[in-house]
Amino acid sequence: MGADAYDRMMIVGLMRTAGKPVQLTTEKFTIPVMIEEFLPDYKNNRRIPFSIILRRVIDNKSNSGS
């Protein structure tokens, strides 16, 4: 929601199609994720509800035990 809702929807869509990890940040943690699916439900330029599916990115190199 907000004056820049349409622009933010476009940015998230481009992040998904780029296929690169992005950082998901909450109050408690930050983890790398891939945006697998982004489904905006366009209502108008100021209100765009959406659903999103994220996949956590696991760095196997850091878990090698060396």
Predicted confidence (pLDDT) per residue in 20-34, tens digit:
999 999 999 999 999
Distance CA 31, CA 24 (A): 5
Residue pair 53/36 in contact (Cβ under 8 Å)? The answer is yes
Query: Vertex 5, ends 3 and 10: CA angle to 5°?
Result: 135
- Whether residue 40 has pLDDT greater than 60: yes
> Long-range contacts of range 26-32, CB-CB < 8 Å, 24 or more positions apart?
31/56, 31/57, 32/56, 32/57, 32/59
Stretch 28-47: mean pLDDT: 95
Residue 6 has pLDDT above 90, yes or no: yes
Please tell me the pTM assigned to this model. 0.77
